[in-house]
Chain A
Amino acid sequence: MKRNERTINSLVIVVLTIGLLLSLTPFLWALITSLSTLKASVSWPPQIIPRPVMWQNYVEAWNKAPFGRFFINSFIQAFFVVIGQVITASLAGYAFARLRFPGRDALLLVVIGVIMIPFEVTMIPLFIMVYKLHWLNTYYALIVPLLATPFGTFLLRQFFLSIPREIEEAAIVDGCSRLGVLLRVILPLSKPALSTLTIFTFMGVWNSLLWPLLVVDEEAMRTVQVGLTYFKGQEFSNYPLLMAASIFTTIPVLLVFFMAQKQFVAGFNMSGIKG
């Protein structure tokens, strides 16, 4: 029995390792290509360690389109959307978790119901609204429609419910207002949920394509993803540069992911199936 288990375990490890290789090969291949000369990138068999190592591909790709500007645009968008969502979702999540008011449960259902609205139904009217407001090619278009988050509201509500009531009752007896309770008692205890929301929102905003594609086409206002799609059209056959750009546009999310892996798992447990 023991030996049987061990054979299965080694078999499982072999299968998992093959899968892992398949999962990572496209990135490794992109990395190799990004460091090759154009000529070496199409030669076969490939040079696993390119000679010469073309670090300058990264510089060239970065300078061939204003990627610095795209990064700034995406960071500005992500920054304000994250701050906005944390504020709106904390307030609403707290009200739905703790305060009694008429129609509370029905309203919560309405908020959650928004998750079910597919974007393709609202994107045309949203575009027309933004167009009529003269918000095309502005940060307003990238930020304002994303400031409320049904997912985040629900996530924070669930977390707030798990905080014992007694903790805040003491503060209320001491004459603390509801906002004071939220700011001084609840939020400091909710760091795991807040960082989950922050990470998910950052990744979502950084990686999003369709909405920015509709509302920002001027070069100076493009986000990273929109800039990368245009760059693909511009350098369609220069794969070393395209791979370099694909890699450096991915670095911010990779950094966040490796810094916050724990929150990722926690986020799944909170938001996914157990919620």
Chain B
Amino acid sequence: MDLKMDSENSMKSQGKQRAFLSLKRREALSALVFVSPTLLLLLVFSFIPIFYSFWVSLQRWNLIQPPVYTGIENYINVFKDRYFRQALVNTLYFTGVSVPLTVMLSLGLAIMLNRKIRFISFYRTGYYIPVITSIVAVSVIWTWIYNGDTGLLNKVLASIGITGPNWLFDPGWAMPAVIIMTIWKNVGYYMVIYLAGLQGIDKSYYEAAEIDGATRWNCFRHVTLPMLAPTTQFIVIMAVISALQVFGQIYVMTGGGPVGSTTTVVYLIYQTAFSAFKVGYASAIAFIFFIVVFGLTLLQWKISRGRVEFM
């Protein structure tokens, strides 16, 4: 009797367990079906290309003749290549100047917009329009503005007695011109992110600081900046990554010139692979640059983390 009940019980629980198991298995199965399109596409179009890229970087290959394996020859040549060094310097120049200016300007604008003023959405929209416009269209527009003889900028400068340079055709001025245009285009994007960060700061911090007699500067230095540190960290990393990859404005406005003064690394990769058809060599440049970008990102991560804790 007892035994019978026991076995009945165990049979019941076994059945339950089996039902549960199959339910779990069914859930995992549908999950597999759900994630497989994304995973397969990413595998084929993101992960395999990385390994393929490394293989290509070990070949001498112009896509027409079959590839010739040359080992690390491409890498050695990249390190000896003065065009690569120039492109790296140009890219760091572009990044080092455009990112700090963009971040500071967007923070300043966000702080001003965070006050109780009317038509705030009107301003926000105005600053955001350059962000949504394509890099090609704004580059075409700025090429016209920078025109040496008849461009708006030099006409305005002339009316106050300054003879402007032929911006995009002057080796010393082409990069600053591209940088100014890039800052103009991106400020609105980071401004909106800063604005979200500012709106997340609890007002009571400012009230407390005010009671303690803090000046406006003190409030900014000891409340706003530390509270915004995570936002700043995020923005700086995003801005550096996208600045290091600059391409569109170079392609449309300067074509890397004059005399290579605006040839950035991504532009050099593009030229090497798709104008000179040296895909192996271009892949080696891309791989080395990938490591540089990755290293810089990691470094920033570490530095900003230290600062956040410090504050």
A residues whose Cβ falls under 8 Å from a Cβ of B: 8-9, 12-13, 15-16, 19-20, 22-27, 29-30, 33, 41-42, 44, 46, 87-89, 91-92, 94-96, 99-102, 104, 107, 110-111, 114, 116-129, 131, 144-145, 147-150, 153, 177-179, 203, 206-207, 209-210, 213-214, 224-225, 228-229, 232, 239, 242-243, 245-247, 249-250, 253-254, 257, 261, 264-265, 268-269, 272-274
The docked-state distance in angstroms from the alpha carbon of A96 to that of B31 is: 8
The docked-state distance in angstroms from the alpha carbon of A199 to that of B266 is: 27
The docked-state distance in angstroms from the alpha carbon of A96 to that of B32 is: 10
14 of the cross-chain contacts (CB-CB < 8 Å) are A13-B117, A16-B117, A23-B129, A24-B126, A100-B28, A104-B31, A114-B47, A118-B293, A124-B53, A125-B53, A145-B41, A178-B30, A207-B132, A246-B141
Contact (Cβ within 8 A) A268 B34: no
Across the interface, name the chain A residue whose C-beta is closest to B293: A118
> Chain B residues with Cβ under 8 A from A249's Cβ?
134, 136-137
Contact (Cβ within 8 A) B290 A178: no
Give the interface segment out of B3-11, B12-20, B72-80, B267-275: B267-275
From B133, B141, B188, B245, give the contact of A243 (CB < 8 A). B141
Across the interface, name the chain A residue whose C-beta is closest to B197: A273
The docked-state distance in angstroms from the alpha carbon of A29 to that of B266 is: 31
Chain A proximity mask over B25-47: 1 for CB below 8 Å, otherwise 0 = 00110111111011101100111
Per DSSP, are chain B's interface residues mostly helix, strand or loop, or mixed?
A: helix
Contact (Cβ within 8 A) A232 B127: no
B residues whose Cβ falls under 8 Å from a Cβ of A: 24, 27-28, 30-35, 37-39, 41-42, 45-50, 52-53, 56, 63, 109, 112-113, 115-117, 121, 123, 125-130, 132-138, 140-145, 147, 149-150, 152, 155, 184, 187-188, 192-193, 196-197, 200, 230-231, 234, 241, 245, 247-248, 251-252, 265-266, 269-270, 273-274, 279, 282-283, 286-287, 289-290, 293-294, 297
Contact (Cβ within 8 A) B251 A209: yes
The docked-state distance in angstroms from the alpha carbon of A46 to that of B265 is: 39
Contact (Cβ within 8 A) A206 B38: no
The docked-state distance in angstroms from the alpha carbon of A22 to that of B184 is: 8
Contact (Cβ within 8 A) B136 A228: yes
From B47, B140, B152, give the contact of A242 (CB < 8 A). B140
Number of A-B contacts (CB under 8 A): 251
The docked-state distance in angstroms from the alpha carbon of A25 to that of B127 is: 11
Which of B42, B152, B289 is the most central at the interface, judged by chain A CB atoms within 10 Å of its CB? Answer: B42
Across the interface, name the chain A residue whose C-beta is closest to B266: A120
The docked-state distance in angstroms from the alpha carbon of A253 to that of B268 is: 30
The docked-state distance in angstroms from the alpha carbon of A228 to that of B133 is: 13
User: If the complex has contacts A124-B56, A246-B140, A250-B134, are A16 and B113 also in contact, measured as CB distance less than 8 A?
Assistant: yes
Contact (Cβ within 8 A) A128 B112: no
Q: How far is the CB of B245 from chain A (nearest CB, A)?
A: 6
> Chain B residues with Cβ under 8 A from A210's Cβ?
247-248, 270
Q: How far is the CB of A118 from chain B (nearest CB, A)?
A: 6
Across the interface, name the chain A residue whose C-beta is closest to B187: A23
The docked-state distance in angstroms from the alpha carbon of A35 to that of B64 is: 47
The docked-state distance in angstroms from the alpha carbon of A88 to that of B35 is: 8
The docked-state distance in angstroms from the alpha carbon of A257 to that of B134 is: 13
From B117, B136, B196, B294, give the contact of A272 (CB < 8 A). B196
> Chain A residues with Cβ under 8 A from B28's Cβ?
99-102
Which of A19, A30, A179, A257 is the most central at the interface, judged by chain B CB atoms within 10 Å of its CB? Answer: A19
Q: How far is the CB of B169 from chain A (nearest CB, A)?
A: 13
The docked-state distance in angstroms from the alpha carbon of A100 to that of B24 is: 8
Q: How far is the CB of A31 from chain B (nearest CB, A)?
A: 10
The docked-state distance in angstroms from the alpha carbon of A177 to that of B165 is: 68
> Chain A residues with Cβ under 8 A from B274's Cβ?
127, 214
9 closest A-B pairs by CB: A148-B41, A125-B49, A207-B134, A95-B34, A99-B31, A92-B38, A101-B31, A125-B52, A122-B49
The docked-state distance in angstroms from the alpha carbon of A20 to that of B123 is: 7
User: If the complex has contacts A145-B45, A206-B134, are A99 and B30 also in contact, measured as CB distance less than 8 A?
Assistant: yes
Contact (Cβ within 8 A) B134 A209: yes
Q: How far is the CB of A147 from chain B (nearest CB, A)?
A: 5
